[in-house]
Amino acid sequence: MSGTLYIVATPIGNLEDMTYRAVRILGQVDLIAAEDTRHSLKLLNHFGISKPLTSYFDHNQQLKGERILHALRQGKSVALISDAGTPCVSDPGFNLVRDAVAEGIPVMAVPGPCAAIAALSGSGLPSDTFTFAGFPPSRQGRRRTFLANMVNLPGTLMLYEAPHRLADTLRDIHEVMGDRQIVLARELTKIYEEFIRGSVSGVMTAVARGKVRGEVVILIAAGETGQTETEPLDVVLESLLADGNLSIKDAARKASEITGSSRSESYAEALRLRNSAVQE
């Protein structure tokens, strides 16, 4: 009989958010796999949990994943935790869970804090339909394409972002998606917790003044009905063509889906943009 793999959520800042069940399960398993063992040791010490620890992070996933699966096959129970929040949500874990599921190893999720869900619940933006898209790409061209692909999504869009990229990402949101309503959920559950609400341009001003520090979730309200008409075809095409990953044909097809323009119009505009870029 194989052991169970527990995916255990831990606090995103406030230790009072640790669940009773998380403490019990971490205290019962044979092995805890942690993203950063030194970081997690502080959490485990706080709750008086003393268990064998092993690291499981992005760059050792293959090797460590195999060792963890081996322990599970031998009947040992393993808990996976990340530095903060829910493992597998923009954190390591997916590969391990996928492989455990493929082998028929029992997997149990032990829910708890997650920055995206906490941000959504306190944002005041519609929460009936939402998309969580993780971290935007760090390169500008890819980031713009990534945003352009989501211009027409229904509901609230949620992104994670590193503090040093926040200003650049807000600028691209403004250019690609327009001056929508957004919320920055900052330092959730911590002393300087704050929800900053406003138009993208207003929030950009606050960020430029250096007023937004620390960890942040970006929540973007859906575009107005007819957003496609206010988002010009050439802006969408420029974003899609920016990093050179898409052919003219593919960019034109995508832009026509996003904007509602006809494929022929989109293709003609893509050619015009490409030709004017070559002449510059």
Does position 169 interact with ligand SAM (CB under 6 A)? The reply is no
- Measured in residues, the chain has a length of 280
Half-sphere exposure of 34 (CA within 13 A, CB side): 19
Q: Are 76 and 31 spatial neighbours (Cβ–Cβ below 8 Å)?
A: yes
Of 78, 143, 158, 161, the one binding ligand SAM by CB under 6 A? 161
Residues 142, 143, 148: CA angle, nearest 5 degrees? 95
187 binding ligand SAM? (CB under 6 A): yes
Considering beta carbons, is residue 194 or 234 the nearer one to ligand SAM? 194
Work out how close the CB of 171 gets to ligand SAM at its nearest, in angstroms, rounded to a whole number.
17
195 residue type, one letter = F
CB of 14 to ligand SAM, least distance (A): 8
Stretch that binds ligand SAM, among 25-33, 85-93, 169-177, 269-277 (CB under 6 A): 85-93
- Answer left, alpha or beta for residue 65, where phi above 0 means left and psi between -120 and 50 means alpha: alpha
Candidate residues 5, 8, 12, 148; the one interacting with ligand SAM per rule CB under 6 A: 12
Candidates 81-89, 94-102, 196-204, 240-248; binding stretch for ligand SAM (CB under 6 A): 81-89
- C-alpha distance from residue 75 to each of 61, 95, 105, 162 (Å): 21, 20, 10, 39
Cβ 161 to ligand SAM, closest distance in Å? 6
Which residue, 46 or 70, is less far from ligand SAM as judged by CB?
A: 46
Is the Cα torsion angle 187, 189, 191, 193 positive or negative in sign? positive
Phi, psi dihedrals of residue 33, rounded to the nearest 5° = -100, 125
Q: Which of residues 195-214 bind ligand SAM (CB under 6 A)?
A: none
Residue 2 amino acid letter: S
Q: Which of 19, 37, 149, 189 binds ligand SAM (CB under 6 A)?
A: 189
E strand residue ranges, the chain: 5-8, 31-34, 53-55, 78-81, 107-110, 130-132, 156-161, 181-186, 194-199, 216-220
Residue range at the interface with ligand SAM (CB under 6 A); choices 113-121, 140-148, 149-157, 169-177? 113-121
Two tokens at 254?
A: 């995508």
| Residue of 114, 148, 182, 237 interacting with ligand SAM (CB under 6 A) | 114
167 binds ligand SAM (CB under 6 A): no
3-state secondary structure of 75: coil
Nearer to ligand SAM, 76 or 195 (CB): 195
User: In this chain, which stretch among 71-79, 166-174, 188-196, 205-213 interacts with ligand SAM, using CB under 6 A?
Assistant: 188-196
Exactly one of 44, 115, 151, 220 binds ligand SAM (CB under 6 A); that residue is: 115
**What are the residues binding ligand SAM (CB under 6 A)?**
12-13, 82, 84-86, 89-91, 114-116, 160-162, 185-190, 215-217
